[in-house]
């Protein structure tokens, strides 16, 4: 029965692509993974990061994973994260715990050149309708209110190996808030997936540099930690369409090098080259 279903699916796929064109067919009939790869999904950066978290979680035998957005602002990103969590759980079986962080009052007061005062000021991006957002996310996500510097510690302490942190979005614009947000990566190694997918929003504009803003916070994090390193996501673009290219440059990964899984050889049968390639592809590890 299974081969027949697979053949029927392939036939329908080919007919649909011929009638509608591949991109329109994918947008109409493809699953989330296919739509992300073709760039026909809202916020492909979130779709990619959360799919990556689910795949890595499954590979290491985890049934749940935690994802977090630093900088909720209007709430559109957090709502998208919630919707994606529901879709990805349906496709992979991995459950998500969704968190957002926000002051509710916009950016805090800026401190020196590293906070890009040439671009932003305190109070920018204040949340417009907190009550409406809270009604929309009720029972589906949690928002941690206040200055990240004051709230991220308790969040980090509460992370567990049962639902390790797997995806982090950082959209707080300035160095000081990013520096605080990255403290979420300082907990015990088992509180994280061995590699945590990350999105940084403000790293590609003309004034962006390694001595200010989010890039400076990344640079300092790497200098301060011997076995936790944030690097660009080197798996992208993979087979993705060039039209989706801008968001690739925003994707990073925190490599938790002190994680048990990265300290010992994984137990499995030896594989020849072809079989190993298939193994990596089947586990979505490329």
Domain ranges within the chain, ordered by starting residue: 50-263
Beta strands in the chain (DSSP E): 64-70, 95-102, 142-145, 165-170, 192-200, 228-232, 251-256
Q: Which is more confident, 18 or 250?
A: 250
Least confident segment among 12-26, 108-122, 142-156: 12-26
Helix 76-92 vs helix 130-137: crossing angle, to nearest 10: 10
Mean confidence (pLDDT) of the chain: 90
Q: What was the pLDDT predicted at 49?
A: 97
Residues written for the chain: 286
Q: What was the pLDDT predicted at 2?
A: 42
Single out the residue of 175, 168, 47 nearest to residue 101, CA to CA: 168
Single out the residue of 25, 34, 17 nearest to residue 244, CA to CA: 34
Q: Where are the alpha helices (DSSP H) in 106-201?
A: 130-137, 148-158, 175-181
Helix 22-29 vs helix 2-20: crossing angle, to nearest 10: 130
CB atoms within 10 A of CB 188: 14
Q: What was the pLDDT predicted at 12?
A: 53
For residue 237, is the peptide bond before it cis, meaning its omega torsion is within 30 degrees of 0?
A: yes
Q: What are phi and psi of 256, to 5 degrees?
A: -90, 85
Q: Give Cα separations from 265 to 4, 57, 112 (angstroms).
A: 39, 18, 46
Rounded mean pLDDT, 69-95: 96
Least confident segment among 75-79, 97-101, 233-237: 233-237
The distance in angstroms from the start CA to the end CA of the chain is: 30
Q: What was the pLDDT predicted at 7?
A: 54
Single out the residue of 98, 70, 248, 75 nearest to residue 171, CA to CA: 70
Q: Is residue 103's pLDDT more than 70?
A: yes
Q: What was the pLDDT predicted at 72?
A: 96
Counting Cα atoms < 13 Å in the Cβ hemisphere of 95 gives: 7
Q: What was the pLDDT predicted at 84?
A: 97
CB atoms within 10 A of CB 97: 18
Q: Is residue 92's pLDDT more than 80?
A: yes
Q: Which is more confident, 1 or 137?
A: 137
Residue 78 token pair: 């957090």
CATH number for 50-263 (one of 3.40.50.150, 3.30.70.20, 3.40.50.970, 1.10.287.1080): it is: 3.40.50.150
CB 131, CB 97: distance < 8 Å: no
CB 286, CB 234: distance < 8 Å: no
Q: Is residue 109's pLDDT more than 80?
A: yes
Q: What was the pLDDT predicted at 40?
A: 84
């Amino acid at each position: 029965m299974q081969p027949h279903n697979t053949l029927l699916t392939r036939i329908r796929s080919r007919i649909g692509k011929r009638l509608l064109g591949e991109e329109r067919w994918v947008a109409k009939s493809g699953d989330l993974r296919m739509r992300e790869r073709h760039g026909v999904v809202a916020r492909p950066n979130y779709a990619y990061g959360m799919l990556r978290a689910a795949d890595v979680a499954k590979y290491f035998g985890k049934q749940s994973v935690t994802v977090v957005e630093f900088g909720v602002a209007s709430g559109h990103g957090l709502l998208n994260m919630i919707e994606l969590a529901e879709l990805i759980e349906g496709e992979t079986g991995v459950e998500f715990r969704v968190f957002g962080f926000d002051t509710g009052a916009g950016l805090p007061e800026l401190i020196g050149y590293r906070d890009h005062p040439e671009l932003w000021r305190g109070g920018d991006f204040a949340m417009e309708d907190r009550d409406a957002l809270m009604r929309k996310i009720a029972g589906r996500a949690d928002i941690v209110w206040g200055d990240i510097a004051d709230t991220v510690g308790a969040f980090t302490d509460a992370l567990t190996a049962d639902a390790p942190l797997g995806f982090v979005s950082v959209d707080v614009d300035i160095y000081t808030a990013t520096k605080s947000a990255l403290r979420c990566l300082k907990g015990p190694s088992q509180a994280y997936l061995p590699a945590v997918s990350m999105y940084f929003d403000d790293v590609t504009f003309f004034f962006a540099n390694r001595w200010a803003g989010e890039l400076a916070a990344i640079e300092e994090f790497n200098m301060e930690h011997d076995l936790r390193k944030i690097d660009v996501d080197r798996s992208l673009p993979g087979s993705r369409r060039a039209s989706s290219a801008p968001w690739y440059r925003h994707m990073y990964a925190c490599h938790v090098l002190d994680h048990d899984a990265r300290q010992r050889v994984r137990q499995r049968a030896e594989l020849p080259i072809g079989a190993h390639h298939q193994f990596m592809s089947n586990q979505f590890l490329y």
